[in-house]
């Protein structure tokens, strides 16, 4: 499945803690997302799914995620239909091995393109 991973204005990666979640772009935006840090050894911090605005708002307040903020946290997301989200999230979790994640869907994976 080919996803359209979103960047911020100027075609740059969005910073998790400063992207404008009140922008109309986020109205009814549901899908999957990837949060990563850009430290010397860049790593995926979290992958997830749901209502993007709500999930990113929660992650901004999550100390487990924010402990990586000193390395600069970035985020990208893509619209994915609800019936495909579990499979896409499972694929992303398997492929990117996020540092944080209590569980991921136990389902058949749906292979997608990565944003990088």
Q: Domain extents for the chain?
A: 14-96
Residues facing 31 on adjacent strands: 50, 79
Q: What is the pLDDT of residue 20?
A: 96
Instruction: Identify the band that residue 101 occupies on the pLDDT scale cut at 50, 70 and 90.
Output: confident
CB of 107 within 8 A of CB of 86? Answer: yes
Q: What is the pLDDT of residue 39?
A: 83
**CATH H superfamily, domain 14-96:** GIY-YIG endonuclease (3.40.1440.10)
Q: What is the pLDDT of residue 105?
A: 74
Q: What percent of the chain has pLDDT over 90?
A: 91
**Could you tell me the pTM of the whole model?**
0.95
Q: How far apart are the first and last CA of the chain?
A: 15
Mean pLDDT of 68-77: 97
């Amino acid at each position: 499945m080919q996803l359209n991973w979103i960047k911020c204005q100027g075609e740059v990666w969005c910073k998790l803690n400063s992207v404008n979640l009140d922008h109309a772009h986020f109205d009814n935006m549901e899908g999957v997302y990837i949060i990563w840090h850009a430290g010397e050894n860049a790593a995926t911090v979290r992958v997830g799914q749901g209502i993007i605005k709500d999930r990113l708002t929660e992650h901004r307040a999550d100390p487990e995620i924010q402990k990586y903020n000193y390395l600069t946290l970035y985020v990208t997301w893509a619209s994915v239909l609800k019936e495909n989200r579990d499979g896409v999230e499972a694929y992303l979790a398997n492929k990117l091995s996020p540092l944080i994640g209590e569980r991921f869907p136990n389902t058949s994976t749906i292979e997608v393109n990565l944003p990088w």
